[in-house]
Chains A and B, each alone.
Chain A
């Protein structure tokens, strides 16, 4: 139990997807202009990443390894993730239309979110078992959501401030992200 708690703390804070692993930066800068889209994107990522981590683990352990075709990992994983996102989109549209309306537009974007593929490969490389993989994927996605929501709030606040012309737009966002990353560095060394 303590081990699982450690995995989750490490994934959310210490090895945060954004600030320490540098994964999923495109949506991080792309959808962080407004707080509510950031929340929507975070929910979609938490949902898809947990599922994707679980399914790629199953594919790796029960298909790629027994057949000895580990070198197809990249191709297999990206195809699994792409079709999973499509499937989630179709099922969600039928089963939970309200949820689909809230998360729908973020789903296609998720296929190219490198956090999904990156975390799936990392889980395999870390030799986690099924339960640990699920916890690790969920925790990483939670860390992504946390970073995204904090950053979106910061950017909303920046909107109303007077910023020198040179810094306006992306440069100030980068620098704000740098300062946030500094804050997250405070967690480093807490868990190995």
Chain B
């Protein structure tokens, strides 16, 4: 497996959010700022990585018939670990992301990768797959979070870009802005992916 090609693929063409439209709930809900986007992305990456490795390790042990429940238990275990350790160490972020931390369990990217990739491939490849897919997810959350934070609150990663007395387009931090920004980002990503394909 070519690592560089895999990385480009999981960031653009096969990006979980903009390419495959998976995991939309946390994407839209937690990206009110770039920082929240990164936090959510990294939490998901950790779960994706760990569950990919464990599922791959157990791929010859789990009987085919009960594989889905078995995967779900593995994923739910890691989600509980993330949930509790974030509550202990990153209390403020945990409070902002709130409900969406336990909901990582039903994020279709994770079960999708367990079923489509980790159950058939070696541990090392599953590890890489989890890492790149997770980072691709984090990347699109970061982009969406940046767009919404810059337009909606006039700041980026907490740094003010425009004077506080100026008006910002508040709707972008609210629910409609999430859908609108993602719609336009999808167009941009589509264009970028086409450029990469042509460049090959």
Q: Which A residues fall within an 8 A CB radius of B?
A: 19-26, 29, 71-75, 78-79, 82, 111-114, 116-118, 121-122, 125, 166-167, 170-175, 177-179, 181-182, 184-185
Assuming the contacts A26-B25, A75-B77, A170-B186, asked whether A121 and B102 have C-beta atoms less than 8 A apart, the reply is yes
Residue of A nearest to B22 (CB): A26
**Residues B186 and A171 in contact, CB atoms below 8 Å apart:** yes
**Residues A78 and B175 in contact, CB atoms below 8 Å apart:** no
CB neighbours (8 Å) of A74 from chain B are 76, 79-80, 83, 102, 105
**Residues B99 and A175 in contact, CB atoms below 8 Å apart:** no
CB neighbours (8 Å) of B107 from chain A are 114
Interface residues of B in 78-112 (CB under 8 A from A): 79-80, 83-84, 99, 102-103, 105-108, 111
**Residues B72 and A185 in contact, CB atoms below 8 Å apart:** no
CB neighbours (8 Å) of B25 from chain A are 22-26, 114, 118
Residue of B nearest to A115 (CB): B25
CB neighbours (8 Å) of B108 from chain A are 26, 112
Residue of A nearest to B103 (CB): A114
**Residues A174 and B183 in contact, CB atoms below 8 Å apart:** yes
Q: Which B residues fall within an 8 A CB radius of A?
A: 21-25, 28-29, 68-69, 72-73, 76-77, 79-80, 83-84, 99, 102-103, 105-108, 111, 171, 174-180, 182-184, 186-187, 190
Given A72-B80, A73-B102, 18 more pairs with CB closer than 8 A: A21-B29, A23-B25, A26-B23, A26-B108, A74-B80, A74-B102, A75-B76, A78-B76, A82-B72, A114-B107, A116-B106, A118-B103, A171-B190, A174-B179, A175-B184, A177-B179, A182-B176, A185-B176
- Give the 7 A-B CB pairs with smallest separation, nearest first: A174-B183, A178-B179, A22-B29, A178-B180, A25-B24, A181-B176, A75-B76
- Alpha-carbon gap, A177 to B171, bound state (A): 14
- Chain A at the B interface: mostly helix, strand, loop or mixed? helix
**Residues A121 and B99 in contact, CB atoms below 8 Å apart:** yes
Contact of A171 among B76, B111, B177, B183 (CB under 8 A): B183
CB neighbours (8 Å) of B171 from chain A are 182
